[in-house]
C-alpha cells in the first residue's frame, strides 16, 4: 500500500468521542476529542443520544483531517469502536426513546449506556434459568449486557412503543450502520453482549434460551430486530468479524457529513475494550521481539495470547486475554470465539468502576477544594498533586516505602458492583480505618488506598484466569489510568506482572479502531499481522524486586480478600430469617 495511505479510527467512550489518523506504520498523525452528553436522572440510570454522538464524530473527523492537512482520497479505511451500550431505533431507522422519565417521548434519548443497571432484576431471572448459553458469560449474565436490557424494555415500554422498535443494536454496530447503511452486525458485539453463539460454537441465536427468559417474541420474528440470520436472501454475510468490510463503505450522505469520499472502506466494529486490546496485545517493546513475532505469526499468536492480558482502564476497566482453545472461567465473560482475532477465543474480565471510583473518592472528600487550589498553584492536575503529596508524607513520617502510608487503611472497590471474577452487581464498597481527619493528607491516603484496591482486584482477576489455564505474566495497558506512574507501579508490584505501555496513551484505543480500517482497506486480511506490524509500544515497567514491598502487598491482598468475605458474612447475618 502506498506510504501516503492513512486510516481513521473513531472511538466512542463513556464521556467523549475520539477520532485519530494513523499511517501505514501505525504512527499517530492527529487526534481530536469531543465531549458527549450523558443523562443520569437516577444513580442506576444512564442514557445517551445517537444524534449527539454522531455530531461529535463529525466534528472530530473534520478536526483531524484539518490537523493532518490530508485530502479525503488519502484516507483508505475507517474503523469504529464504542461502549457496549444498547441503541434503539424505530422501523424507519430513527432514534426511539428509552427514557422512562419522559414517558418514552424524548426520542433524543435512545441509548441505554453500558453502566445503566436498570435491568438487574431481569438479569437475575435470566441467571435463574441456568441455561447452557450462560456458560459463555461465566455462568452469570450482567445487567450491563444487552439482553437483560432488551427484556427490561419489553416489560416496561408501552406495547405500541415495544412493537415500534425496528432495530436493537449494540452501539458499535449502530456506528457502522450510520456510516454505511448496512445493518450487518459484528461478531464482537453479538457474541460478547447479545447472547449470540458464533460459528463452530453454536448456531447463532438459540431459540430455547430466548423462550426461557421471556423473549419468545424475538424467536417468532426470526430475531430480525437483533440482526436476523447470518445469511440473507442475497447470500450476504450479516455477521462480520473485526475489520471485515461493511457494505459498500461510506454512503454518499455519511461521506458528505464526514468530509470523506463515498465508498471509503469501513471495517466491522468492535467494543471499545477490544479496540484497546487490538492496539496493544501485538505491540512489542523491541524490534527484535517484533521481528520474531512476524516471522512466526501463528506461533506468536498462540503463545502470546494466553500470556498477555490487555487492560483498558478508563471509567471502568476491561481485561482481555486470548487462547487458541476455549477456557471457561467462572465469573469471567467468555470464552468468546473470533470476536477479535479470527479463530481465537477471548476471555473478558472487568471492573465496573475504576476511574469513576477514583473520581468519586476524591470529589466527595471535604478537602477537595483545598487540594484543587494547591494543585492549581503549582500548575498540576489534582491527581499529580496528590501523588507528589504522598511522597511528602512518606518523607515526613520517615517511612522507607510509600506503601506503608496505608498500612491500616483499606478500601474494597466494588462501589458499583463486581463484574469479575464474582459477577455480582449487588456487592458494594468498604472503607476500613476511617478517622475524623478532613485534611488534604487524608485525601491523599484515600487516593492511594483506592489505587491499591483497584490493583488488588486486578490481581484477583489474573489469579482466577491463571487457575483455569492462562499463563498471564504481561499486562498490555491503555486508557486514562496509564497516565499515573503511581498507579502503574502499584499495579505492577501488586500483580508481579510486567507492564507494556502504549506509545500513545491518549490514542491507544482509537488507534485500535484505525487498525480495523486498515484491515477493511486490504492492508492485510489477518488482524493479528496488523496488530504486530502496526502496534507501537512505549516503555516497559517491571515489578520492584524489594522483598519488603512484596510482603506489604501480599498482606494487603490478604486483607482485600478478607474484606470481601466479611461483606458476604455481614449480609448473611442480616438476611437471617428473611
Distances (CA, A) of 441 to 282, 362, 434, 447: 41, 12, 13, 10
- On whether the pTM is more than 0.85, the answer is yes
pLDDT tens track, the chain, 578 positions: 566 899 999 999 999 999 999 999 999 999 999 999 999 999 899 999 999 999 999 999 999 999 999 999 999 999 999 999 999 999 999 999 999 999 999 999 999 999 999 999 999 999 999 999 999 998 999 999 999 999 999 999 999 999 999 999 999 999 999 999 999 999 999 999 999 999 889 999 999 999 999 999 999 999 999 998 764 444 456 899 999 999 999 999 999 999 999 999 999 999 999 999 999 999 998 899 899 999 999 999 999 999 999 999 988 899 999 999 999 999 999 999 999 999 999 999 999 899 999 999 999 999 999 999 999 999 999 999 999 999 999 999 999 999 999 999 999 999 999 999 998 989 999 999 999 999 999 999 999 999 999 999 999 999 999 999 999 999 999 988 999 999 999 999 999 999 999 999 989 999 999 999 999 999 999 999 999 999 999 999 999 999 999 999 999 999 999 999 999 999 999 998 77
**And the C-alpha cell for 104?**
418514552
pLDDT at residue 235, rounded to an integer: 41
Cell 474480565 appears where? Answer: 349
β-sheet bridge partners, residue 7: 22, 77
**And the C-alpha cell for 46?**
444512564
Task: Specify the DSSP class assigned to residue 244.
Answer: P
Per DSSP (E only), the strands in 200-295 are 239-240, 266-271
C-beta separation of 9 from 514 below 8 A: yes
- What is the distance between the alpha carbons of residues 82 and 17, in angstroms, rounded to a whole number? 9
pLDDT at residue 112, rounded to an integer: 98
- What is the distance between the alpha carbons of residues 151 and 210, in angstroms, rounded to a whole number? 10
Q: Which residues of 69-99 are buried (b: 16+ CB within 10 A; e: fewer)?
A: ebeeebbbbbbbbbbbbbbbbbeeeebbbbb
Helix axes 355-363, 382-396, angle to 10 degrees: 70
* Cβ contacts of 360-368, under 8 Å, gap ≥ 24: 360/415, 361/411, 361/446, 361/447, 361/450, 362/386, 362/443, 362/446, 362/447, 365/438, 365/442, 365/443, 365/446, 366/438, 367/438, 367/439, 367/440, 367/442, 367/443, 368/443
What pLDDT digit, counting tens, does each position of 390-411 carry? 999 999 999 999 999 999 999 9
CA diameter of the chain: 74
**Main-chain phi, psi angles of 173, to 5 degrees:** -70, -30
Helix, strand, coil percentages for the chain (3-state, nearest 5): 45, 20, 35
**Main-chain phi, psi angles of 435, to 5 degrees:** -120, -175
Fold observed for domain 6-269: Nucleotidyltransferase; domain 5 (3.30.420)
C-beta separation of 543 from 498 below 8 A: yes
- What is the distance between the alpha carbons of residues 37 and 14, in angstroms, rounded to a whole number? 9
Sign of the CA dihedral running 552, 554, 555, 560: positive
pLDDT at residue 252, rounded to an integer: 98
Helices (H), 91-205: 120-128, 146-156, 159-163, 171-180, 187-193
pLDDT at residue 3, rounded to an integer: 62
Which run of H or E residues covers position 355? helix 355-363
pLDDT at residue 228, rounded to an integer: 84
Domain(s) labelled CATH 3.30.420.40 in the chain stretch across: 6-269
pLDDT at residue 506, rounded to an integer: 86
Please state which architecture CATH assigns to domain 355-459+545-574. Answer: Up-down Bundle (1.20)
Half-sphere exposure of 411 (CA within 13 A, CB side): 21
C-beta separation of 3 from 23 below 8 A: yes
Domain(s) labelled CATH 1.20.58.2240 in the chain stretch across: 355-459+545-574
- What is the distance between the alpha carbons of residues 89 and 108, in angstroms, rounded to a whole number? 11
Amino acid at each position: 500500500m502506498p506510504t501516503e495511505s492513512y486510516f481513521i479510527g473513531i472511538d466512542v467512550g463513556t464521556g467523549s468521542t475520539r477520532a485519530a489518523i494513523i499511517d501505514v506504520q501505525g504512527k499517530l498523525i492527529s487526534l481530536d476529542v469531543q465531549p458527549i452528553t450523558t443523562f443520569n436522572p437516577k444513580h442506576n440510570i444512564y442514557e445517551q443520544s445517537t444524534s449527539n454522538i454522531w455530531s461529535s464524530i463529525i466534528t472530530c473527523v473534520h478536526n483531524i483531517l484539518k490537523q493532518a492537512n490530508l485530502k479525503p482520497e488519502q484516507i483508505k479505511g475507517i474503523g469504529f469502536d464504542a461502549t457496549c451500550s444498547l441503541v434503539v431505533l424505530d422501523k424507519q431507522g430513527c432514534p426511539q426513546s428509552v427514557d422512562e422519565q419522559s414517558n418514552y417521548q424524548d426520542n433524543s434519548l435512545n441509548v441505554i449506556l453500558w453502566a445503566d443497571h436498570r435491568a438487574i432484576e431481569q438479569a437475575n431471572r435470566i441467571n435463574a434459568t441456568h441455561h447452557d448459553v450462560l456458560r459463555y458469560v461465566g455462568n452469570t449474565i450482567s445487567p450491563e449486557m444487552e439482553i437483560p436490557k432488551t427484556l427490561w424494555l419489553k416489560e416496561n415500554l408501552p406495547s405500541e412503543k415495544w412493537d415500534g422498535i425496528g432495530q436493537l443494536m449494540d452501539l458499535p454496530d449502530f456506528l457502522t450502520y450510520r456510516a454505511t447503511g448496512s445493518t450487518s452486525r459484528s461478531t464482537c458485539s453479538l457474541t460478547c453482549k447479545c447472547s449470540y453463539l458464533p460459528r463452530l460454537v453454536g448456531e447463532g441465536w438459540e431459540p430455547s434460551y430466548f423462550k426461557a427468559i421471556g423473549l419468545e417474541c424475538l424467536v417468532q420474528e426470526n430475531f430480525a430486530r437483533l440482526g436476523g440470520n447470518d445469511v440473507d436472501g442475497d447470500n450476504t454475510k450479516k455477521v462480520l468479524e473485526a475489520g471485515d468490510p461493511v457494505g459498500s463503505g461510506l454512503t454518499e450522505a455519511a461521506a458528505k457529513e464526514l468530509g470523506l469520499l463515498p465508498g471509503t472502506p469501513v471495517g466491522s466494529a468492535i467494543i471499545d475494550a477490544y479496540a484497546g486490546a487490538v492496539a496493544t496485545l501485538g505491540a512489542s517493546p523491541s524490534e527484535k521481539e517484533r521481528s520474531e513475532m512476524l516471522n512466526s505469526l501463528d506461533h506468536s499468536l498462540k503463545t502470546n495470547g494466553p500470556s498477555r492480558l490487555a487492560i483498558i482502564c478508563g471509567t471502568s476497566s476491561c481485561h482481555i486475554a486470548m487462547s487458541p482453545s476455549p477456557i471457561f472461567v467462572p465469573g469471567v465473560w467468555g470464552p468468546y470465539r473470533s470476536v477479535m482475532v479470527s479463530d481465537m477465543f477471548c476471555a473478558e474480565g472487568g471492573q465496573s468502576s475504576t476511574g469513576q471510583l477514583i473520581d468519586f473518592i476524591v470529589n466527595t472528600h471535604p478537602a477537595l477544594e483545598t487540594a484543587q487550589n494547591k494543585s492549581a498553584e503549582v500548575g498540576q492536575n489534582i491527581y499529580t498533586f496528590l501523588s507528589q503529596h504522598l511522597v511528602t508524607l512518606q518523607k515526613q513520617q520517615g517511612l522507607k516505602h510509600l506503601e506503608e502510608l496505608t498500612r491500616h487503611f483499606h478500601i474494597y472497590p466494588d462501589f458499583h458492583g463486581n463484574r469479575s471474577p464474582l459477577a455480582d452487581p449487588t456487592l458494594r464498597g468498604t472503607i476500613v480505618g476511617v478517622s475524623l481527619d478532613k485534611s488534604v493528607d487524608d485525601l491523599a491516603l484515600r487516593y492511594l488506598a483506592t489505587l491499591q484496591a483497584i490493583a488488588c482486584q486486578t490481581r484477583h482477576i489474573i489469579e482466577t484466569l491463571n487457575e483455569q489455564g492462562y499463563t498471564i505474566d504481561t499486562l498490555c495497558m491503555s486508557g486514562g489510568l496509564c497516565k499515573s506512574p503511581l498507579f502503574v507501579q502499584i499495579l505492577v508490584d501488586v500483580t508481579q506482572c510486567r507492564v507494556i505501555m502504549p506509545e500513545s496513551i491518549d490514542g491507544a484505543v482509537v488507534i485500535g479502531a484505525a487498525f480495523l480500517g486498515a484491515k477493511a482497506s486490504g492492508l492485510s486480511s489477518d488482524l493479528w499481522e496488523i496488530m504486530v506490524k502496526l502496534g507501537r509500544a512505549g516503555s516497559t515497567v517491571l515489578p520492584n524486586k524489594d522483598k519488603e514491598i512484596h510482603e506489604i502487598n501480599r498482606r494487603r491482598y490478604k486483607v482485600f480478600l478478607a474484606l470481601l468475605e466479611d461483606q458476604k458474612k455481614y449480609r448473611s447475618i442480616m438476611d437471617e430469617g428473611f
